[in-house]
Amino acid sequence: MKKITVLFIAMVAVLAAGCGTDKSGASEPDETVRLVASEPTLPSDFEQMSVAQKTRGFLAVSVNEQDAFETAWTDYGMEDGRPELDFKEEAAIFISLQESSSCPNRPESFDTTAESGELGVHFEPLPDVCTADLAPRTLVISVKKEIAGDLKTIRLYLQQQEVSVPLLGLQVEY
């Protein structure tokens, strides 16, 4: 009986060690898309820009260079430390929306569909009871350049709705 128990534990250990690894044995997260910031703020021209889109109350803006990123960070009123991004390898996307102040939307996962030019943002489920107010939220995500250049829309998979937001490019005047 003791030999069977030891054999069983050894098999479980071997199986557990093999989970989550690629063929080289390394276990690395997919860094194609990642959340780099989330703050309760909106850009100063949020109402004007979101009304101009067919998805009022939502805004998605792509930034492809350091100067534009710094400008957007300030314009969006982001207060936490600005993350360092390598704009030779990645782009930043600012996603703005309004949410319940008692139940902030937290991204759970991302998916990309290169053929359709769409980035999906899936959010964690919300608690059963949330206040019915509108609080600001801006998410900043990093996307690898080879994918970012093909993106046309951001699809937000919220608990109560699914919204397709056109992706705008930020232009900085020098």
Range list of H helices, the chain: 2-18, 46-52, 66-75, 145-148
Query: How does pLDDT run across 78-111, given as a tens digit for each residue?
Result: 998 899 999 999 999 999 999 999 988 899 999 9
Domain ranges across the chain: 30-169
158 by DSSP, 3-state: which? coil
More confident residue, 89 or 174: 89
Q: Mean pLDDT, the chain, as a whole number?
A: 81
pLDDT tens digits, one per residue of 111-139: 987 678 999 999 998 887 889 899 999 99
Residues with Cβ within 8 Å of 106's Cβ and at least 6 positions away in sequence, in order, are 38, 123, 124
